[in-house]
Amino acid sequence: MKRLAALTLLLVCAAAPRAGAAPARRVALVVAGDAGARSPLFDAVSRGLAGRDAVTRFVLRPDEDADPIAKGRLLADLQERDLIVPVGDAASRFVTDELGGTPIFFVGAGVVAGESLRERATGGVFSFSVSALLDAAKALKLRRLGVAYTPGYEPILDLIRTGAAARGLRVTGRRIAAPKELGPAARDLLDREQAVWVLGDPLLARGAGFEYLRERSLSRAVPLISTDPGAVARGALLGYEPPQGALAAVAVAGVSRRLDRRASSPGERLQSAPAGGTVLVNAVLARKWGLPPGPEPGWRRVR
């Protein structure tokens, strides 16, 4: 009996340091393969996280869906981490689609499914700046803004409302919960507002949904503001490219708060990119619609 008690005590003491000590936090930094080779943002975030915790870098192949065995291994490795930090749109989309419910902090994504944002475990900093785009709208004298958003984007809508109020702009939000609601919502916003801000759910920001909004926008001469910088070349009037260094700094601070479990409210979970980047303007559309001449300092025309 005494021998058993001694053995028990020995085994519990052997296990106790592992149970009581704070385990090293393991962070997965993920970037898409086509961007990985030339991603200043990924490099900046990587440098910012260096020296703290255990950071492992993963580069996604362009055809990650092609091999389910390799994909399963990758997802199993990612899921093991305390926090997954996808950098850029492609990596963020892959991680949020495949690993919902796992702690994720995306960096520099403009298009993220709203359903993913509703998960408490998901947070991040977007690639667009609410303040910079509101300033651009104001400079173009677009004072009545409609915001098309999907469930999950409510915190961003709140940021837009707060920023718009401070600038004397009026914002009307229209929630789109299903594809069938897109048509009526688009008609409603484009009929009444001077510009429509399309928040970055793939339903609205990509594919057939964005094509529909663009066509309606062109026919009504009502500009679109997009969270996806690539959309400016595809028919949106305004977009935004964030300053990489400042974005990386915000991201590193956000990752630290997440690891320390200090960010819990939706407003803290989801952040807008810092101002000071480049506002993208579709020069053809601006000229076509007779918008005030520009550009402002820090703007870039896209044709």
Partner 1 sequence: MGSKTRRWIGPLLAALTTATAPASAKVLFTGYGDFQATPQGAYKIGGPPSVLKNFGLGPETLETRGFAINSLGLFATTALSDRTRLQMDVTYRDIGNSVKTIRIQYAYLEQKAWDATFRAGKITLPFGWYNQNRFYPFQRPSITGPVFQSAILGLPIADIGASAERTFDLGAAALTADVYAVNGYGPSPGSTDTFRSASLPGALTISNNLGSVDANHKVAVGGRLDLSPRGAPESSVGASYYRGEWDPAGQRLLQMAGAHAHGQWAGVEGLAEYLHLSVQGDHGFAANLGSQDWSTDGFFVETDYHGLKPRGRELTPWARYEYTVSRGSGGGGRERLSVAAGGVALRVMDGLIAKAEFDSLSYRLPFAAGDVTLSGYTLTLGLTATF
Q: What residues line the site for partner 1 (CB under 8 A)?
A: 1, 4-5, 8, 11-12, 15-16, 18-19, 26, 63, 65-69, 71-73, 75-77, 79-80
Q: How far is the CB of 13 from partner 1 (least distance, A)?
A: 10
The single residue listed with the structure tokens 């993220």 is 112
Q: How far is the CB of 93 from partner 1 (least distance, A)?
A: 11
Q: Where are the beta strands (DSSP E) in the chain?
A: 26-32, 54-60, 83-87, 104-109, 122-126, 144-149, 170-175, 195-198, 224-226, 238-241, 270-271, 278-282, 299-302
Nearer to partner 1, 2 or 303 (CB): 2
Q: How far is the CB of 15 from partner 1 (least distance, A)?
A: 3
Cα–Cα distance measured from residue 213 to residue 211, given in angstroms and rounded to the nearest whole number = 5
C-alpha dihedral over 202, 204, 207, 210, to 10 degrees? -150
Nearer to partner 1, 26 or 144 (CB): 26
End-to-end CA gap in the chain: 84
Nearer to partner 1, 86 or 243 (CB): 86
**Residue type (1 letter), 265:** S
Q: How far is the CB of 223 from partner 1 (least distance, A)?
A: 29
Q: How far is the CB of 27 from partner 1 (least distance, A)?
A: 12
Q: How far is the CB of 20 from partner 1 (least distance, A)?
A: 9
Nearer to partner 1, 75 or 284 (CB): 75
Nearer to partner 1, 40 or 101 (CB): 101
Q: How far is the CB of 301 from partner 1 (least distance, A)?
A: 27
Nearer to partner 1, 7 or 50 (CB): 7
CB 89, CB 228: distance < 8 Å: yes
Q: How far is CA 175 from the centre of its chain?
A: 18
Q: How far is CA 35 from the centre of its chain?
A: 16
Nearer to partner 1, 68 or 183 (CB): 68
SS (H, E, C) 16-80: HHHHHCCCCCEEEEEEEHHHHCCCHHHHHHHHHHCCCCEEEEEEECCCHHHCHHHHHHHHHHHHC
